[in-house]
């Protein structure tokens, strides 16, 4: 058993700086680096196919820059370089997070036909006025061409969630500079802006969200990932989303383990659902929170017609809409019933509220077996901070655990901390020592609960003052209002104690496996042998090996 430290890491911040790091709103914006100089970049789309052209939009204080592109897989492969590309500083609208940067295109290049599907990292390098190097990075996806894909995996990157958390320009779906007082989160966010720092690459010592501290009694919760971000100049949301924190770890593991894996964006899923055709196994990983109705249609049809969906991900929470040919994502979230125009005129099933809102009528469990509002936080702040860290196993005889030697009551992934920081669950009861979904849980027919751990929607402790809590009970009351009509104390009691599960069930002619945790990829990142074994069992079964 690994011994956890009993003190929080020190990143050299004062108590006031730590408070700002957690409760303040920090973000990247053009001009923030002043005399040091800066360079920023975005592309016209998230994903492309071989043979298509990528347009880059660059704004730089330097008159020229160099460009390098590598494929980011089990190993890095350089595919393209260019030098001394002309650049200039481009004015950026104040509300660029919502409306896009509207820069003029700076450079274009074609994707060669022999570039394999995957994630491609762009590094832009220039010199500032003093001859010092300045850099920025961007990421785009080369998605696969259509056709039969025997024994290949298609991984769908959680680009809807990347977009929701991207802080560049000041606003995302969590905090922002919108509204009359410039203090509201944005209900609409644009793809036409750079990624914030930490979404494309991270150093290996960057903290993950779940606490890696054995907190002594009556310890006030801390948030090391936010403190580290503030101390190092990374986005506050780097650990909540992005290629670097989540999607990359599965992709690299799969290639290292010998699987043939392709990569697509959620925008591909929305606009080109036929991209699923020919695959025996489609995979979703990490923090995968934001989906459109059309994305769900694509997966439901795929599985019902015989496909296999493996979801090693958590927090299937919000419905979104895409506008402007996919360049803008809409999600009113907590303000949906008051502000989303579809409530006044339109199809209310497309409201950008929680999937479990009764008016939408399509809880996440219908697609992936689990619901976000029955799960949520684990190992974060004051929500089960000393919890199990892994999945307590109830059905070790299941095929997913074959060859692991795991026993009833063992905790899968505890060493690598795969349980957190947001998890998905179901209302359930225990019969004969085994958890089963309740009749009103919304679980699909035939669903088996393989593993089950505790989570919470409320930071709950008799010894920690409310002013020392970051999460509080806001999300719990939102779930209570969404599911039961109001956020009363009585309704909060119905939802505040959540859970995270591993489930498996048939759906039509196909099948779904769902390990409902954002942090499953931590087991792959940290080479947890048992987590890797379960992952291979799922992939091998679904690939027909």
- HEC states along 87-111? CCCCCCCCCHHHHCCCCCCCEEEEC
Q: What is the pLDDT of residues 335-384, one digit of tens each?
A: 999 999 999 998 999 999 999 999 999 999 999 999 999 999 999 988 89
CA distance 234 to 168: 11
Query: Region 196-223: what's the mean pLDDT?
Result: 92
Q: Half-sphere exposure (CA, 13 Å, Cβ side) for 198? A: 26
Structural contact between residues 332 and 344, judged by C-beta atoms closer than 8 angstroms: no
CA distance 458 to 531: 28
CA distance 326 to 415: 40
Query: Region 415-420: what's the mean pLDDT?
Result: 97
> What is the C-alpha end-to-end distance of the chain, expressed in Å?
33
What's the pLDDT at 33? 86
CA distance 46 to 491: 41
Count how many residues are written for the chain.
545
Percent over 90 (pLDDT), the chain: 90
Report whether pLDDT(1) > 60: no
Mean predicted lDDT score pLDDT of the chain: 95
Query: Region 188-194: what's the mean pLDDT?
Result: 98
Q: Which residues contact 295 (CB under 8 A, 6 or more apart)?
A: 160, 266, 269, 270
CA torsion angle 94 98 100 101 (round to 10): 20
Report whether pLDDT(461) > 90: no
- Short-list 318, 328, 323, CA closest to 171: 328
Report whether pLDDT(470) > 80: no
Backbone angles phi, psi at 425, to 5 degrees: -150, -165
Q: What is the pLDDT of residues 237-248, one digit of tens each?
A: 999 999 999 999
Residue with tokens 């606009």: 271
CA distance 515 to 534: 10
- Short-list 131, 103, 107, 129, CA closest to 30: 103
Q: What phi-psi label fits residue 164: left (phi over 0), alpha (psi between -120 and 50 degrees) or beta?
A: alpha
Least confident range from 190-199, 323-332, 415-424, 453-462: namely 453-462
Report whether pLDDT(462) > 70: no
What's the pLDDT at 218? 83
Structural contact between residues 353 and 293, judged by C-beta atoms closer than 8 angstroms: no
The whole-angstrom distance between residue 101's C-alpha and the CA centroid of its chain comes to: 24
Q: What is the pLDDT of residues 272-295, one digit of tens each?
A: 999 999 999 999 999 999 999 999
Report whether pLDDT(31) > 60: yes
Q: What is the pLDDT of residues 492-538, one digit of tens each?
A: 999 999 999 999 999 999 999 999 999 999 999 999 999 999 999 99
What's the pLDDT at 460? 77
Q: What is the pLDDT of residues 44-103, one digit of tens each?
A: 999 999 999 999 999 999 999 999 999 999 999 999 999 999 999 999 999 999 999 999
- Short-list 215, 171, 210, 211, CA closest to 189: 171
Helices (H), 233-316: 248-256, 266-271, 293-304
Q: Half-sphere exposure (CA, 13 Å, Cβ side) for 462? A: 0
CA distance 245 to 520: 12
What's the pLDDT at 466? 73
């Amino acid at each position: 058993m690994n011994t956890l430290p009993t003190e929080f890491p020190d990143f050299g911040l004062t108590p006031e700086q730590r408070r700002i790091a957690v409760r303040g709103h920090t973000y990247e914006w053009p001009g923030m680096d002043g005399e040091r100089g800066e360079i920023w970049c975005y592309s016209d789309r998230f994903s492309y196919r071989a043979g298509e052209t990528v347009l880059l939009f660059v704004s730089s204080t330097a008159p020229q820059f160099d460009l390098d592109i590598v494929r980011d897989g089990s190993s890095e492969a350089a595919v393209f370089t260019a030098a001394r590309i002309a650049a200039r500083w481009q004015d950026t609208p104040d509300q660029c997070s919502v409306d896009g940067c509207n820069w003029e295109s700076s450079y274009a290049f074609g994707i060669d036909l022999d570039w394999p599907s995957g994630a491609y990292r762009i590094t832009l390098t220039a010199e500032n006025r003093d001859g010092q190097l300045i850099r920025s990075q961007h990421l785009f996806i080369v998605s696969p061409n259509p056709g039969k894909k025997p024994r290949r995996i298609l991984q769908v990157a959680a680009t809807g969630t990347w977009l929701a958390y991207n802080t560049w320009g000041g606003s995302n779906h969590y905090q922002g500079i919108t509204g009359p007082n410039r203090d509201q989160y944005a209900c609409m966010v644009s793809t036409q802006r750079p990624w914030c720092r930490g979404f494309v690459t991270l150093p290996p010592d960057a903290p993950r969200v779940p606490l890696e501290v054995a907190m002594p009694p009556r310890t006030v919760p801390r948030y090391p990932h936010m403190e580290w971000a503030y101390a190092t100049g990374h986005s506050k949301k780097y650990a909540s989303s992005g290629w670097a924190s989540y999607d990359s770890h599965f992709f690299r593991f799969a290639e290292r383990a010998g699987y043939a894996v392709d990569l697509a964006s959620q925008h591909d899923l929305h606009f080109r659902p036929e991209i699923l055709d020919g695959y025996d196994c489609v995979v979703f990983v990490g923090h995968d929170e934001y989906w459109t109705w059309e994305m769900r249609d694509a997966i439901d049809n795929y599985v019902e017609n015989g496909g296999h969906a493996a979801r090693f991900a958590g927090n299937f929470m919000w419905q979104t809409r895409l506008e402007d040919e996919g360049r803008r994502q809409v999600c009113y979230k907590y303000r949906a019933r008051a502000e989303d125009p579809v409530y006044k005129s339109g199809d209310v099933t497309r409201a950008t509220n929680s999937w479990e809102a009764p008016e939408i009528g399509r809880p996440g469990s219908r697609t992936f077996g689990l619901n976000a509002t029955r799960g949520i936080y684990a190992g974060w702040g004051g929500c089960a901070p000393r919890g199990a860290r892994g999945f307590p196993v109830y059905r070790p005889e299941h095929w997913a655990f074959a060859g692991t030697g795991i026993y009833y009551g063992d905790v899968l992934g505890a060493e690598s901390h795969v349980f957190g920081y947001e998890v998905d669950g179901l209302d359930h009861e225990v019969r004969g020592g085994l958890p089963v979904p309740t009749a009103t849980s919304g679980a699909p027919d035939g669903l088996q609960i393989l593993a089950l751990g505790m989570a919470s929607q409320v930071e709950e402790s008799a010894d920690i003052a409310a002013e020392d809590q970051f999460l509080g009970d806001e999300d719990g009351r939102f779930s209570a209002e969404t599911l039961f009509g109001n956020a009363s104390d009585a309704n909060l009691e119905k939802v505040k104690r959540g859970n995270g599960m591993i489930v498996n069930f048939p759906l039509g002619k196909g099948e779904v496996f769902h390990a409902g945790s954002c942090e499953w990829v931590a087991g792959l990142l940290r080479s947890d042998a048992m987590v890797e074994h379960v992952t291979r069992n799922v992939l091998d079964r679904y690939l027909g090996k």
